[in-house]
Amino acid sequence: MIQTAFLPPDLPAGLEVLADLALDLRWTWSHDADHLWRALDPETWEATANPWLLLQNVPRPRLSVVATDPTFRRDLDRIVARRQAYLESPPAIDGGSGDLSRPVAYFSLEFGIGEAIPLYAGGLGVLAGDHLKAASDLGVPLVAIGLLYQEGYFRQTFDATGKQEEVYPYNDPVTMPIQPVLAPSGEWVTVPVELPGRTIWLRAWRATVGRVTLHLLDSNVPVNDPGDRGITGKLYGDGPEMRLRQEIVLGIGGWRLLEALGVDPGAAHLNEGHAAFAILERARSAMNKFKLTFFEALAATRAGNVFTTHTPVTAGFDAFSPQVLAKYFPGDRGYLASLGISFDELLALGRAPGARGDEPFKPAYLAIRGATRVNGVSALHGETSREVFRSFFPRWPKQEIPIGHVTNGVHIPSWDSAAADDLWTAACGSDRWRRPAAGLDTAIARADDRTLWTVRAQARALLVNRARNRLHRHLSHRGATAEQADIATRVLDPDVLTLGLARRFAEYKRPNLLLRNETALRRLLGDRLRPIQIVVAGKAHPADEGGKALVEAWTHFANDPEVRMRCVFLEDYDLSLAQELVQGVDVWINTPRRPWEACGTSGMKVLVNGGLNLSALDGWWAEAYEPDVGWAIGEPGAPSDDDRDAEAVIRTLERDIIPSFYDRDAEGLPRAWLKRVRASLSRLTPRFSANRMLHEYVTGYYHPAEVEVAARLANDGAAARALTAWTRRLATCWSEIRFGLVDVRSGNGEAQISVEIFLNDVAREDVAVELFAEGTGVGSPNKLPMTSAGPLPGTSHGFLFRATVPAGRPISDWTPRVIPASPVAGIPVELPLITWFR
C-alpha cells in the first residue's frame, strides 16, 4: 500500500485501492486500468489522462455507484492482482555480474515520465523517464533524485503571426500524482543546504514509478526567502547563478536526502554534469563516517560513481565563473571547511588541466574527475567525448581515453501504439519487454505483410484524426473564426505517405533543412498521384532567437494556402504529442549536423510501430543504419554540408521513399516497403530498447561500481588511504622516469626488443612497461607487455625489460612506454601518467 497524505476524500469502502493505482505512474505505460478511469469520468480522463486528478474531481455519487457495480469491482480486483504480480516478479537481470545488493542512485535535473508530472524540457528528461520505467520492468533496484519545479519548462503557443510565445502554468503538487515524503513520526522529511549567508530547507516528494521511487526536492518552503523558494521554479531558467543553485540543490541536497531516508547506494549514476555536486557530498559523507581526508574519501567513493555525458561539444557544458562559484563556496568557511579543501582545490576539480585566471568551473569536469566510469550515449558520441575530454589525459592515445559508450534506448511500452502492441503480443508474448530481448527479432519477423500494412494504415489514420483535432483546438484558442478552424478538420489524408519532423528547434539540429529547397518540397507535397504530407512540431528555447526564427519559418510555410492541407505544424510539442507522432508517421526525419547529436532517441520510438527513419548519420543512426532498414542523409564519416544534405533529402524522397511506398502489387500491398518495415521492426527495435540499455548499465557499470566502492571503503577505508598515498607518490616522482638504450634484434620472422628504464624513486612494482602500436583501420591499438629481465648492473634504479614482437607489422610501428600499474586504481582514469620512449 502506497503511503498517502493527500487522499481524495471519502473513497467508498473497497475502492481505496484506486488511490494506489492512481499514484503508481506505471499507468503511463501499462493501460490495464484506462477503461476504469474512463468509466469513472470520461470527460476528465480525456482532458487530463491523470487518474490522480480524476479521483480528486469525480463526483462522490458516481463513486458510490461503481462501488456496487460487480463488473467494475471484478475488473478492479483483476487489475490490482496483476499489479501486485508485477511488483513481486523477480528481477530480469540476475546472476553473476547482474546481481545488485544495494540500490542505484540516479540523479537527473529533469525527468519525462508523463504529462501529469511535467518535469522535463526535452530528450535528456525523456531518456531519464524511460530509464526509470525500464528499471522498474526489469527489477533493477534504483532510486532517483530530481527537482519538483513549480513551473517547469515552458508551454508553447503562437501569436497571430506564427511567432512562438512561452507560458508557464503552475504545477500544483496536490493535483500531481506525487506524495510528500513523511518520516515515521508523521512530519515532512526535509534536508538543509547551505547557501551564502543562510541555510535553506528542502522538502521531499515521492513519485512511484512501478518498482522505482523518484524523490523530488522542493525549495518552495515557507521558511525560505522568496528568492530561494524559486530555486525549484523554472527548469533551465533565470540565468547561470540560478542554475548553480539548482545543481547544488540536486547534488548536495539530493545526497543528503538519500542519507535522511536511510538509502545507502552502491552505484551513483549522474545523468549529465548537472548532478556533479553529489560527488562532493558523497565524499563528505564518507569522510565523516570513516574519518578520511577529502581526497581519501574521493578516491574511495569515485569508484561508485558513473557519469553519463550527453554533450558533444565543450561549449555545451554548464560553466560558472570563479567569482560566482566563490560566492557559494567561500574558501575560509562553510561547505569547503567541512570538506577540508581550499577554494583553489575545488576550482581545480572543475577546470581543464592547466587552466588559470578566469577559466570557468564546469560541473562536467568535476564529474569526470569524480567518477571511474564515464560513458557517452552512442558509439559515435563515445568517440566524440574522447576528443572532448582529451586534455584530461595528456599524451594518452585517443583510443585509450577511458570513456566508453552505452547507446541510449527507449522504453518500448511507453511508445508503441495499441495496434503495434497487439502485433508484438501475438508474436512475442505480453511480457516481452520485461526480459532479455533474445529471440524477439525472429518472432516478430514472422508477421505477414497484410498484417503489417493494416497496422500501419490504422496508425496513420489515427494520427491524422488526432492532428486534425489538435489543430482545430489550437486555432480556436488563437481566436480563429469558425471557418478558419474548420479547415483543420480536412487537413492531411490517412492514405498519403506521412513524414514526421519533431524536435527541439536549435540551429545545429537543422530542422529547416527541407525548407532550403522549398520549391521541390512544394512539388512533392502537391503531387496529384503520389503526394507526401508532413507533420512538424517542436520548441525553441525562450532565449534562442535563432531557434524561434526556425519555428516561425515552418509556421509560415504550414499556413500557406497552397500547402496547408499537406503540412501541419502542431504547437506545444510534449510527451503526449510525441507519442501520437511516433506511432503514426511512416518516415521519421532527423537532420542534425554531425557529430552534434549525441544520440537522438526520437527515431528509435518509431521502430516498434513500423515506422522508418530518414536521418543524418549521427548519434544512434550512425550505428543502426543499413540500406535495408531505412535511409541515410550524407555519407558515413563525411562532414555535414547543408546544401548538399538538403538536396540529398529531396533526392532520396523522390527516387527511393515515395516509389517504394506507392508501388503496390495486385493485392494492393507495397512489398518493397514492407520488407524494409519488417527489417527495421525486427532487427532494430530490440537493439535500441531501454531493457538492452539497462542490461549494459547494470552489468558493465552499476555492478562493478558497487563492488569496487565497497572494497575501497572496507576496513575503514584502508584501500582508499593506500590508494591516495600511492597516487600522490607517483605523481610527485613520475617525471624522473627516463629511458636508456633500446636494442632490437630480428630473426626467424620475429624481433626481440630490449629497453633500459631508469625508475629513480618509482618502485618497480608500481609500473608496467609495454610496447604500443596504433590500431590499423578502425581496430583497437595493439599492446604487448614487456617483462622485467632484472636490474641493470651497476645502477641503483635501472631495469631491463624485454618483449618479442611477432611478424606482421614493421618494428617502427612499435613504441615502448611506461604506465602506472595497480591492482586497485583505474588507469588512466584515476592517474593519467604516461612516459613514452619518444
In CATH, the number for domain 101-156+164-324+364-408+698-712 is 3.40.50.2000
Residue 1 has pLDDT above 60, yes or no: no
Q: Which fold has domain 438-684?
A: Rossmann fold (3.40.50)
Average pLDDT in the chain:
94
Mean pLDDT of 443-468: 96
99, burial (CB in 10 Å: exposed 0-12, middle 13-18, buried 19+): middle
Residue 88 has pLDDT above 50, yes or no: yes
Q: One-letter amino acid identity for 24?
A: D
* pLDDT tens track for 777-813: 667 899 999 999 999 998 989 999 999 998 878 888 9
Name the pLDDT band for 98 (thresholds 50, 70, 90).
low
What's the confidence (pLDDT) of residue 746?
A: 86
Spatial distance between the Cα atoms of 152 and 121, rounded to a whole number of angstroms: 8
* pLDDT tens track for 55-64: 999 988 999 9
Q: Where in the chain is the domain with CATH 2.60.40?
A: 737-836
Residue 5 has pLDDT above 90, yes or no: no
Mean pLDDT of 409-435: 93
Grid look-up 503511503 returns 3
Mean pLDDT of 746-758: 90
What does the block give as the cell for 329?
Answer: 563556496
Highest mean pLDDT among 232-236, 495-499, 759-763: 495-499
List phi, psi (to 5°) of 583: -80, -25
Q: Which fold has domain 737-836?
A: Immunoglobulin-like (2.60.40)
Residue 379 has pLDDT above 50, yes or no: yes
Spatial distance between the Cα atoms of 486 and 472, rounded to a whole number of angstroms: 7
Q: One-letter amino acid identity for 601?
A: T
Name the pLDDT band for 94 (thresholds 50, 70, 90).
low
Percent of the chain with pLDDT strictly greater than 70: 98
Mean pLDDT of 424-435: 90
CA 98-99-102 angle, 5° bins = 125
Closest CA to 498 of 469, 466, 470: 466
Mean pLDDT of 623-635: 95
* pLDDT tens track for 168-183: 999 999 999 999 999 9
Mean pLDDT of 241-252: 97
Spatial distance between the Cα atoms of 745 and 762, rounded to a whole number of angstroms: 29
Grid look-up 512475442 returns 428
What does the block give as the cell for 180?
Answer: 510528500
What's the confidence (pLDDT) of residue 430?
A: 87
Q: How much is the CA Rg of the chain, to the nearest whole Å?
A: 29
Mean pLDDT of 253-280: 97
Number of other CB atoms surrounding residue 169 within 10 Å: 11
Residue 4 has pLDDT above 60, yes or no: no
Residue 7 has pLDDT above 70, yes or no: no
Closest CA to 403 of 365, 363, 372: 372
Angle between helices 277-290 and 703-733 (to 10 degrees): 80
- Find out whether 647 and 518 touch, Cβ atoms under 8 Å: no
Closest CA to 362 of 351, 353, 376: 351
What's the confidence (pLDDT) of residue 807?
A: 80
Name the pLDDT band for 52 (thresholds 50, 70, 90).
very high
Spatial distance between the Cα atoms of 667 and 674, rounded to a whole number of angstroms: 13
Mean pLDDT of 244-249: 98
Q: One-letter amino acid identity for 211?
A: R
User: Which letter does DSSP use for residue 90 in this model?
Assistant: P
Residue 332 has pLDDT above 80, yes or no: no
Report pTM: 0.95
Handedness of CA 301, 302, 303, 304 (dihedral sign): positive
Mean pLDDT of 269-280: 97
Residue 6 has pLDDT above 70, yes or no: no
What does the block give as the cell for 388?
Answer: 572532448
Residues with Cβ within 8 Å of 709's Cβ and at least 6 positions away in sequence, in order, are: 266, 267, 300, 301, 303, 304
Residue 685 has pLDDT above 70, yes or no: yes
* pLDDT tens track for 491-532: 999 999 999 999 999 999 999 999 999 999 999 999 999 999
Mean pLDDT of 306-322: 94
List phi, psi (to 5°) of 433: -95, 10
* pLDDT tens track for 765-780: 999 999 999 987 667 8
Q: Where in the chain is the domain with CATH 3.40.50.2000?
A: 101-156+164-324+364-408+698-712, 438-684
Residues with Cβ within 8 Å of 325's Cβ and at least 6 positions away in sequence, in order, are: 244, 343, 346, 347, 350, 361
Name the pLDDT band for 99 (thresholds 50, 70, 90).
confident
Mean pLDDT of 576-605: 95
